[in-house]
Amino acid sequence: MPARGTPLARRDASGGPGRLWTAAEANGRLPALRELLPRLRGWASRLGEVHAELARLGQFWGEELGARDQPDHLLKERLDAEWKNLTRRLEESVEALAAEGIEVKHLDSGLVDFYAIVAGELVYLCWRTDEPEVAFYHTLDGGFAGRRPLPTGQRSVATDAAGPG
């Protein structure tokens, strides 16, 4: 289970970026992300609650928790099903974003990276939900702390999306 605040970064099935983004294209994707990220946070939060309830039941019932004749059996089954459903929805959503070349780095802060090329280098365009537009980038291993402003001409116009090499 991804815990709240846990990075959810993934690449596509090939291990590489699903696609390369321009700053303008990434900015065009922000309205949908502003809608999706709170939903993902809600699912992750509920997963935490379900986990806590299952842990509480486990502490109370011990090995008997799985017994069909114990009084909380139906509650445990419902919580297990909810756990599976929420986990599936979260994983599918994050994997769909990864297939697009978008990585959810941190749910609580709404930190998202888009694969791009800036100055001939494969980088992440870096955005948080409290920012009005994609205006920063960082190297793939540089992280949020190493982010820099996009070059002036690349904020709302295309970055070099031709791809590396």
pLDDT one-digit tens code per residue, 33-84: 999 999 999 999 999 999 999 999 999 999 898 898 999 999 999 999 999 9
Q: Residue 141 falls within a domain, yes or no?
A: yes
- The pLDDT, as a whole number, for residue 155 is 54
Cβ atoms of residues 30 and 129 within 8 Å? no
pTM recorded for the entire structure: 0.77
Query: In terms of residue numbers, what domain contains 150?
Result: 23-154
Whole-angstrom Cα distance, residue 31 to residue 55? Answer: 37
Domain-embedded: residue 107: yes
**Closest C-alpha among 111, 122, 114 to residue 98:** 114
Which stretches within the chain are classed as H helix?
A: 23-61, 73-99
Beta carbons within 10 angstroms of residue 6's beta carbon: 13
Domain count for the chain: 1
- Give domain status of residue 90, yes or no: yes
Tell me the C-alpha distance between 39 and 35, whole Å.
7
